[in-house]
């Protein structure tokens, strides 16, 4: 086996390992999203049903805390925060993988 063949097989192995690592990370992110969704649904339905409507003499901001509606507000804030964090992490991961594969493709073109 020549040095070029060894380098070529090494690059193929690295690409395979990176794909496996990427699939593993994607699976972990998916599992975390499912877990967060399950937790939020548990919190949402575990709080019970709150009655909507604005009570007399209360402003709309204070009606959010009337008769247990604060749990729904808390769940909404947590869901929004989790969605923003997930979106930012996915965007960073996508940009990082584009940079990595871009470098791999450029190195492959230069060597051939």
- Alpha helices, H only, the chain: 3-46, 60-63, 70-111
pTM of the entire predicted model: 0.42
What values do phi and psi take at 57, rounded to 5? 80, 0
Domain map of the chain by residue range?
Answer: 17-49+59-111
**Two tokens at 59?**
């402003």
Gap between the Cα atoms of 51 and 31, Å rounded: 33
Q: Which residues of the chain have pLDDT under 50?
A: 49-51, 54, 112
Q: Give me the pLDDT at residue 10, please.
A: 92
Q: Looking at residue 92, what is its pLDDT?
A: 86
pLDDT at residue 103, rounded to an integer: 67
Q: In 10 A of CB 75, how many CB atoms? A: 19
What is the rounded distance in angstroms from the CA atom of residue 65 to the CA atom of residue 74?
Answer: 10
């Amino acid at each position: 086996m020549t040095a070029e063949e060894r380098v070529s097989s090494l690059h193929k192995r690295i690409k395979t390992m990176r794909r496996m690592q990427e699939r593993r990370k994607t699976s972990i992110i998916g599992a975390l999203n499912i877990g967060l969704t399950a937790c939020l649904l548990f919190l949402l339905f575990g709080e019970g049903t709150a009655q909507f409507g604005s009570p007399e003499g209360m402003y709309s901001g204070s009606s959010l805390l009337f008769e247990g509606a604060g749990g729904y507000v808390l769940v909404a804030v947590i869901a929004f925060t989790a969605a923003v964090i997930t979106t930012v992490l996915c965007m960073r991961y996508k940009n990082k993988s584009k940079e990595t594969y871009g470098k791999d493709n450029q190195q492959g073109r230069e060597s051939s």
